[in-house]
Structure 1
Amino acid sequence: MENHSSSTVAFVKNRRASLISAIFLMATSAIGPGFITQTATFTVTLGTAFGFGILASIIIDFVVQQNIWRVVALTKMNSSDIANSTIPFSGYILAILIIFGGLVFNIGNIAGAGLGLNALVGLDPKWGGAISALMAVYIFSSRKASNFIDRLMIGLGLLMIILTMFVVFASHPPVGEAFKETVIPSNIDFASITTIVGGTVGGYISYAGAHRLLDKGMVGVEHIDYVSGAATKGIMVVGLMRYILFLAILGVVASGVTIDISSYAANPASQAFQAALGELGLRIFGLILWAAAITSIIGAAYTSMTFITPFKRNISEKQRQFATIVFIAASLAIYLIMGTAPVSLLVFAGGFNGLVLPLGLTIFVYIGWKRADLMSGYHYPRWLLWSGLLVCAITWYMGAMSVFTIFNYLK
């Protein structure tokens, strides 16, 4: 009886740890250098009205993550395998888009890590990026990589939230007005919503938490309520970080400080933090940016390499670990050769990112409607399917706009 009780307690603890690791892998993957820059830029341009954009992105993210996490858990398959089993060869297309987009954006993550260490301790950005990438390589080469990644993601995720809250209290934002504009906006900017949705749930980010649960074995109909709850909590963590970052910068903007967002080299978030707390604010910004970047390096590499299964069946954990290290090394090599994240590549990958989300979501919603056989006969919630169809339409429109922007940029 005592042994049975001990095994039950161990199972519950393992389940809780698996769910928390998935929540923070998804959340910290979404909170990258681009996330911080986008939030700062739109807060400067839109002011309190940007609160509605954040709320809209959270609602869209909720529908996307609920569908993807649920289908992965119910089918007990990798997303690319799910796609291939539904529409022949679509899984290969999805995998190529995500791996390519993940590689290019990881160059940006490494660049962000370099800038973070530069602001934190004055280290040359190239050296900062190289050291951060090599840290990620070391983590993945460890025999206890899985547990270390879980702890690192949780620790740095909480650190970013606490430090940003500190800046919120220092900048004294107009909280009441911000809340009012979040619910009843005086201005709705669809371009900002499109951009931040792509930045928080586009590309590999959509699949990070779901694939972590798959690796942990937290799948099947018996776990679906826990999976659904974890997806909701992950979106809440991302939404909380975005909203408090918005409030921190809003306080500075509302005080009358001018923040430059016009030049290519401008860093609006850095300027806002420094205006709020002086030299300490700059150091805090550097630590937050570095934490966001290093967790995104790990998240992008881990999730992208979960998509190589269509190209190599029965891949072992050790082989995938090695592929992840090569992935990070390739990102670092390109960054060091080019000196910074190449803008044209990032813009091009952004267009791909805009197509990954609707492509994957459409397949997953179709499975929910028509392929109960892949989900052990599970009765998929109709409210989630209808909301999924609506978000599919919205994200296809966003994807079309992304491609249109790319073509105009590359002309």
Structure 2
Amino acid sequence: MTTETTPPSAAKATLRGSFLAAIFLMATSAIGPGFITQTATFTAQLGAAFAFAILASIVIDFVVQLNIWRITALTGRPASETANAAIPGAGYLLAILVIIGGLAFNVGNIAGAGLGLNAMIGLDPKIGGAASAVVAIGIFLSKRAEVLLDRIIIVLGLVMIAMTLFVALVSNPPVGEALRQTILPDTINFAAITTIVGGTVGGYITYSGAHRLLDKGLTGPHNLASVTRAALTGIAITGVMRFILFLAILGVVTSGVTLDLSGRAANPAAQAFFEAAGSVGLRVFGIVFWAAALTSTIGAAYTSVSFMPVFAPMTQRSRDIATVLFIAISLAIYVAMTTPPAAILVFVGGFNGLILPIGLTIFTYVGFARSDLLGGHRYNRPLLVASAVICALTWYMGYKSVGAIFAFIGL
């Protein structure tokens, strides 16, 4: 009797594919329709000074994702279980907040998918949102859901980057001025920073890539170096994409075009792409926005449901069913709402930015004081100090901007 073994080359390819899937799940979740709309909105308001908020979001993203991915790899547990083990009951609180935030985000994601199809083929946003939700549900119901999830996210992520780069080149932005204000901004807007941080690393987004690695068994000290490289790669991809998108819209704004930020039909990102490249730009926007929305819908549903087993054990089948229901409920809320989609997308970013410091506080505590949960591993002290600083900063930003975020949609 012989035992079949996986060839080393095939094992390495599988490992690379697993890390790549986690990288793009985090990256596409961080570059969703909310981020695109937020970028257009705040670039129109702040101009080149918004570059500072982009830089701040990347620095915060670097610290948050690196620590969350590494600590999750060392504990070998979902974030909610780690939180419960560290502080009894904290995991339940974190799970509830992430699930609520993920649901809010998914309403915005489905709204974004509707806006994308509207720009692409003129489909009514409500119908487009419903059709996109059905596509996402079909992916999870497929017998090859695991493979489909990974491949679709990677392909759509690459499409988003290529299309946005095209518009950035066409819009001819003032790169020098943007670079100057990245370091020396004319104004600093805490509500803008909190919202953009929430749209890129807040709520469920913080844990999307880490939980994907967990599901693929990439945990333990022996995987720590690879996990670190994967996190850094994901952060680099999202950082480049954020600046490219910002520059694309900045080029339009500095050319003298005034983006419409009011009214029920306002879609500043679509207007910016149209002004940059005409009808072709509008179609490109539709593709980018729809791809961003679909991947974020999948990421939000997948990650939010990954927090549910803390309340009761779940089989893979029950997780798939819960994911489908999660998307269906998000769609029902979107169809019933009368708030303009663009306003929804900006608000949910800010809301998730308020959730971020809670989870980061718990993970920073685990790194400092609970080496028993890390398998006795003494966690990197400089990274923990950076985490503590960012933790304090996000609490402060949340305090300073909570009123402005809720006032944005009249709450």
Equivalent pair of 2:203/2:353 in contact (CA under 8 Å):
yes
Q: What's 2:281 paired with?
A: 281
2:384 is paired with a residue whose SS is helix
The secondary structure found in structure 2 opposite 1:123 is: coil
TM normalised by structure 1 equals: 0.94
Distance 1:260 1:345 in 2: 16
Is residue 194 of structure 2 the alignment partner of residue 180 of structure 1? no
Q: Does the C-alpha gap of structure 1 residues 352 and 285 become closer, same or farther in structure 2, counting only changes over 3 Å?
A: closer
**Cα distance, 1:188 vs. partner?**
2.9
Q: What does 1:285-364 align with in structure 2 at a 5 Å threshold?
A: 285-313=285-313, 315-338=314-337, 353-364=352-363
Q: Show the counterpart of 1:212.
A: 212
Change in 2 beyond 3 A, CA 1:300/1:216: same
SS of structure 2 residue aligned to 1:211: helix
Tell me what 1:80 maps to: 80
Shift of 1:404: 3.9
2: CA distance, partners of 1:71 / 1:233: 17
CA spacing shift, 1:167–1:344, aligned 2, 3 Å: closer
Counterpart AA for 1:353: N
Q: Would you say the 8 A contact 2:133–2:328 is kept in 1?
A: yes
Amino acid at match of 2:326: F
Cα distance, 1:381 vs structure 2: 1.0
What secondary structure is seen at the aligned counterpart in 1 of 2:40? helix
Residues 1:165 and 1:410: Cα distance change in structure 2 (over 3 Å):
closer
Shift of 1:180: 2.5
Residues 19-168 of structure 1 aligned to structure 2 (within 5 Å): 19-168=19-168
Secondary structure of 2:378's aligned partner? coil
Judging changes above 3 Å, is the alpha-carbon distance between structure 1 residues 343 and 37 closer, same or farther for their aligned structure 2 residues? closer
What is the RMSD computed on CA atoms of the aligned residues? 2.2
Please state whether the residue corresponding to 1:131 is helix, strand or coil.
Answer: helix
Cα distance, 1:95 vs structure 2: 0.5
User: Residues 348 and 6 from structure 1, CA distance in 2 versus in 1: closer, same or farther, beyond 3 angstroms?
Assistant: closer
Shift of 1:168: 1.2
Q: Give the structure 2 partner of residue 10 of structure 1.
A: 10
Judge which range, 346-355 or 75-84, deviates more.
346-355
- Cα distance in 2 for partners of 1:204, 1:318 equals 21
Corresponding residue SS for 2:310? coil
Tell me how far 1:101 sits from its aligned partner: 1.4
Letter in 1 for 2:290: W
Structure 2 counterpart of 1:97, one-letter code: L
Deviation of residue 206 (structure 1)?
0.2
After TM superposition, give the deviation of residue 225 of structure 1 in Å: 0.8
Query: Relative to structure 2, which stretch is displaced further, 216-225 or 392-401?
Result: 392-401
- Structure 2 distance, partners of 1:290, 1:234, is 21
SS for the counterpart of 2:130 is helix
Distance change in 2, residues 1:19/1:354 (3 Å): same
Structure 1 residue 13, shift from structure 2 partner: 1.2
SS state at 1:21 partner? helix
Q: Greater shift after overlay, 399-408 or 229-238?
A: 399-408
- Provide the aligned length of Structure 1 versus Structure 2: 408
SS at match of 1:309: helix
**Contact residue 111 and residue 340 of structure 1 kept, 8 A:** no
Q: Percent identity?
A: 60
Normalised by the size of structure 2, how large is the TM-score?
0.94
Match of 1:376 in 2: 375
Structure 2: segments with no counterpart, 5+ residues: none
Deviation at residue 338 of structure 1 after TM alignment: 3.0
Q: Structure 1 residues 65, 316: CA separation in 2 closer, same or farther (over 3 Å shift)?
A: same
Superposed displacement of residue 407, structure 1: 6.8
- Could you list the per-position Cα deviations for residues 202-233 of structure 1 after superposition, in whole angstroms to 9, with x for gaps in the alignment? 00000000000000111110000111111111
Could you tell me how far 1:341 is from its partner in structure 2?
Answer: 6.4
* Residues 48 and 177 in structure 1, CA contact (< 8 A), matched pair in contact too: yes
Query: Residue 394 of structure 1 corresponds to which residue in structure 2?
Result: 393
Deviation at 1:398, TM superposition (A): 2.5
Structure 1 gaps, min length 5: none
Point out the more displaced range, 350-359 or 229-238.
Answer: 350-359
